Amino acid sequence: MITEYQSLKSYNTFGVPAQARYFTTFSTAEELRDLLNHAIVKNNPRLILGGGSNMLFVRNFDGIVLKNELKGIEKVHEDEHHYYVKSAAGEIWHELVMHCIQNNYAGMENLALIPGCVGASPMQNIGAYGVEIKDIFHSLEAMHVHDGTVRTFSLEECNFGYRESIFKRAEKDNWVILSVTYRLNKRAVLHTSYGAIEEQLDKMHRDNITIKDVAQAVIAIRSSKLPDPKVTGNAGSFFKNPVVPIEVYKAIQTHHNNAPCFPIDETNVKVPAGWLIEQAGWKGKNLGNYGVHDKQALVLVNYGGATGEQIYALSTSIISDIKAKFGIELEREVNMIG
């Protein structure tokens, strides 16, 4: 059933007001295929909506929103070293992570508590604490929006990059992700050196560390630094960490001896965007009903009643200021809709 003038406030984690000209849901591939043949879907802009956790509605969406409600998680194969776990795209990401931990499928534990649905995980190549989707990805199934054909994409075909994939570039808006299959380890290879994981594990007094311990450490860290979208509207990290030539980083060091960086290759480094924003004085900036989170400068927040236009304008001001002060142009990680 297609409805008209549907409020989207409860469908985006920023909690900003917006409405869709048309709105519907699908819970099977057959329902999706039928919808894609519907005149309203064919003749209007389309937006496939999952958890609404990586988008900002800057205005109403003058098209049709198709809410992905595909469900199901199953182990489809195993070999000597790996389990292959297939999840429908509409599943909640964190619930999939916890399902895998409970079954001792290793590899996802560093990605606990990331908001959103499974379908967005390969689209964005989500990552945290030293692990990205490309590290555990096996394949995905997607339906073409024009002819309804279903195709399997391999790791190589997804062309993953830093918060990038083929679905954000060459094949943008051409496919609807139906399911994702992950290759997970039978024998855990723990990644605990990134961020504050080891420090948190020490606080937890854990010996013989398990994937469950790592997940609990990540959950504790994220909970202490990041606002809960159910309480304070946000979309997590708003900006990507910029990759810059070493010469640019060295220029920053002349004024900031403690400037952090992560080597990428012989000529480039990644500089934490949150550090840049904090140095520029934006951390904790309160503009009434919206602003910059006081514990994590990467996170823009809606305290209640803010519009998408206001939050977008704030992000633009931050980008301009960082460019002026550091010569680095930040790129938004969150998708602008409208």
Under a CB-based contact definition with an 8 Å cutoff, are residues 120 and 51 in contact? yes
Say if residue 155's pLDDT is above 80: yes
What percent of the chain is predicted at pLDDT more than 90? Answer: 97
When computed from its CA atoms, the radius of gyration of the chain, rounded to whole angstroms, is 20
Same domain, 95 and 201: yes
Same domain, 64 and 77: no
Q: Where are the alpha helices (DSSP H) in 8-148?
A: 29-36, 39-42, 93-102, 120-124
User: Is residue 69 packed enough to be buried (19+ CB in 10 Å), middle (13-18) or exposed (0-12)?
Assistant: middle
State the catalytic residue, choosing from 163, 183, 222, 332. Answer: 163
Same domain, 25 and 87: no
Domain boundary among 46, 68, 90: 68
Q: Is 80 among the residues known to form the active site?
A: no
Same domain, 145 and 215: yes
**pLDDT at residue number 207:** 79
What tokens were used for 314?
């704030």
Alpha carbon of 297 to those of 109, 232, 237: distances in Å? 24, 15, 9
**pLDDT at residue number 230:** 92
Domain boundary among 173, 200, 225: 225
With CA atoms as reference, report the closest residue to 61 among 46, 42, 83: 46
State the catalytic residue, choosing from 53, 87, 139, 237. Answer: 237
76-112 CB burial, b ≥16 within 10 A, e <16: eeeeeebbbbbbbbbbbbbebbbebbeeebbbbbbbb
Same domain, 99 and 60: no
Domain boundary among 225, 246, 266: 225
Same domain, 194 and 78: yes
Say if residue 252's pLDDT is above 80: yes
| pLDDT, the chain, mean | 96
**pLDDT at residue number 74:** 98
Average pLDDT (263-292) is 97
Say if residue 191's pLDDT is above 90: yes
Under a CB-based contact definition with an 8 Å cutoff, are residues 337 and 54 in contact? no
Under a CB-based contact definition with an 8 Å cutoff, are residues 118 and 102 in contact? no
Q: Is 53 helix (H, G, I), strand (E, B) or coil?
A: coil
**pLDDT at residue number 98:** 98
CA distance 45 to 63: 5
Q: Is 163 among the residues known to form the active site?
A: yes
Q: Is 317 among the residues known to form the active site?
A: no
Average pLDDT (287-304) is 97
Average pLDDT (175-195) is 95
Under a CB-based contact definition with an 8 Å cutoff, are residues 8 and 65 in contact? yes
Say if residue 205's pLDDT is above 90: no
Same domain, 101 and 219: yes
Q: What type of residue is 199?
A: E
Same domain, 105 and 23: no
**pLDDT at residue number 305:** 96
Same domain, 276 and 135: no
Average pLDDT (40-66) is 97
Say if residue 7's pLDDT is above 90: yes
**pLDDT at residue number 76:** 98
Same domain, 104 and 181: yes
CA distance 53 to 171: 21
Same domain, 277 and 320: yes
Quick one: pLDDT band at residue 206, thresholds 50, 70, 90? confident
Average pLDDT (193-201) is 89
Same domain, 108 and 156: yes
Count of domains observed in the chain = 3
User: Is residue 258 packed enough to be buried (19+ CB in 10 Å), middle (13-18) or exposed (0-12)?
Assistant: exposed
**CATH assignment at residue 38:** 3.30.43.10
**CATH assignment at residue 243:** 3.90.78.10
Q: What type of residue is 32?
A: L
Q: What is the pTM of this model?
A: 0.92
Domain enclosing residue 331, as ranges = 233-337
**CATH assignment at residue 83:** 3.30.465.10
**pLDDT at residue number 194:** 82
Average pLDDT (148-167) is 96
**pLDDT at residue number 338:** 83
